[in-house]
Amino acid sequence: MSVFTEELKSGKAVLRFDVVGGPERTGIAEDMSFLNYRLGTVEVSHEVTKAKPDIIWNYDEPKKAIRYVDHQLILDSFWEEGELNKIMVSMLANEMDKCGMHPFHSSSVVYKGHGILLVGGENNHGKSMTQLEACKRGAQVFSTETTVMDDETGIALYGSKNIYVRKRAKGTERSDLANQDEGVKMFFGDEPTMEMRDEPIQMDLAIMPCIDGWFKTEVKQMGQFEAAYQSYHSMMNFFGMNQLLSGGDGLVMPIIDEEDRRQARGAFCAKYAAGRPYFMVRAKTPQLVLDEIDKLMEQLGMN
């Protein structure tokens, strides 16, 4: 029986994916935009460097199934590309975590010479629009959906550069997400020019933006628990614990995490949250959010 092997790489992390049987193929995912959006940068290679596959897809099995056994994810039968995208994101994020790289669900900019992390946290209320407003004021984009942090230093190593996904593969469709182009049009008219920054940088300030047309402007500094809590949500976003992978079959993402790494991740998270000021900024528009960030940077001597 034929076996097709592909490796996905992000930074130092490598994920080997073997497809057993099925039709002849040249790749596992036709469109890599979702993986790059979620994990910063993902490279595909057909040169095998790992002795053991991390994912095995038994394509010709009659019944659709998923399980995690002895550090391998096993798939049976046919899976849509969008479903595979979610699985690959979680499994590659797992490999990144093992290599000491932590993906955060966040945007980030370099603004007035300082790295600013826009935390997604428990909710997702305006990090992309805040980032676009920062670009209008001269900021560079470091990451748009995911920022990858180094475990030892806390430095932001790299990040995604697509500000949103314009095309979702079958299996990742989302009717609850508003059209992002409409949001840009509402707040900005034309999309601001985005200059990219690739060199690693320390994030000096963390902001959790909350944008809603009814909100009164409010700024609150987070305590240690809340800063770590929101950061941990941002980190655990990638492990698929809340993911229903296949609605018709009721198949969920298996638990791929491990207790010792959960504890180590929590320790990193607490250290990271203690290493920089965290603020929640609530306002009606991204312009008002940036006005408050400007004030905070002046107060903190970040001019």
Quote the pLDDT of residue 222: 97
In the predicted model, is pLDDT for residue 24 greater than 50? yes
Show the tokens assigned to 63: 């019944």
Which CATH class name applies to 102-237+263-299?
alpha beta
Structural domain spans, the chain: 3-99, 102-237+263-299
Question: What is the pLDDT of the chain when averaged over all its residues?
Answer: 90
Quote the pLDDT of residue 121: 78
Mean pLDDT, residues 172-181 taken together:
54
In the predicted model, is pLDDT for residue 291 greater than 50? yes
288 vs 212: CA distance, rounded Å:
11
Mean pLDDT, residues 237-261 taken together:
92
In the predicted model, is pLDDT for residue 223 greater than 90? yes
Compute the C-alpha angle 231/234/237, nearest 5°: 145
DSSP per-residue letters across 55-95: EEEETT-SS-EEEEETTEEEEES---HHHHHHHHHHHHHHH
pTM for this structure? Answer: 0.88
110 vs 106: CA distance, rounded Å:
14
Q: Chain-centre distance of CA 159, in angstroms?
A: 9
Contacts of 57 (CB under 8 A, 6+ apart): 17, 18, 19, 20, 22, 75, 76, 79
Quote the pLDDT of residue 262: 95
DSSP per-residue letters across 145-207: SEEEEETTT--EEEE---SS-S---TT---SSSPPHHHHHHHHHSSPPP-EE--S-B-EEEEE
110 vs 169: CA distance, rounded Å:
31
Mean pLDDT, residues 190-216 taken together:
90
Quote the pLDDT of residue 30: 84
Tokens 């797992």 -> residue = 94
Quote the pLDDT of residue 123: 72
Quote the pLDDT of residue 166: 47
Per cent of the chain over pLDDT 70 is 90
Q: Which long-range contacts (CB under 8 A, 24 or more apart) does 59-62 make?
A: 59/19, 59/20, 59/21, 59/22, 60/1, 60/20, 60/21, 60/22
Quote the pLDDT of residue 125: 79
Mean pLDDT, residues 6-24 taken together:
96
Quote the pLDDT of residue 105: 93
Mean pLDDT, residues 29-33 taken together:
85
147 vs 81: CA distance, rounded Å:
24
